[in-house]
Structure 1
């Protein structure tokens, strides 16, 4: 069984404990590399209401969280690798990555299906000029 990472509250002695329910928490930090002066923007998203041994309150709440993270741009390939982690590092983080991947694949295939439908309605002619989808072959 995977060991759990220590919680943030156990590492921060000055933290205040709260009983309020927050679904999405977003923190922004700027880290600076002292030797070069290079700045790096760090966005930290925390889905606070997904229990350790359970499921999110609703699929809609999880979907909203995923969309907030995706809308921030941190999951785009040109931004750099995203770090996705839960306390055990295997269940919730894996679910987040899998659902995001499936939704992205679904969008891509839906787009391809629309293009295919347009081609078929034109009698199979390829006038859409998107050769990049098939390696430049028209």
Structure 2
């Protein structure tokens, strides 16, 4: 599967006549699939991590984990992804001992990388006493530059 992705990326690079003609990704190109909290107290088995998902099998594996305690993916805007055109960026924070935590992402594209800045927010004041794990999942057009998390 990685060879196929490499071939697709190579074809995209070869077909580009100039990086000057390359359209920059705009905010509208990033499509929110889902954000919020997992409430399984960590029993989903998802560690704090930043993922770039490029295949159907990786995506299905993640959906299975996400839905192992609660059907979280039922609230997603979509779960059927065309991986020949799109990739998934999924960010999971650590399991927290209270509610009120959240994630947001900021995207910036340069000529040599696609930068994803992960912003974490903690609750102000008193928060609910429930274990949560914030997540943020988006769909982006396939990149021909590396995705770098900040």
TM-score (norm. length: structure 1): 0.22
Q: Which has the higher helix share?
A: 1
Q: Which has the higher strand share?
A: 2
TM-score (norm. length: structure 2): 0.20
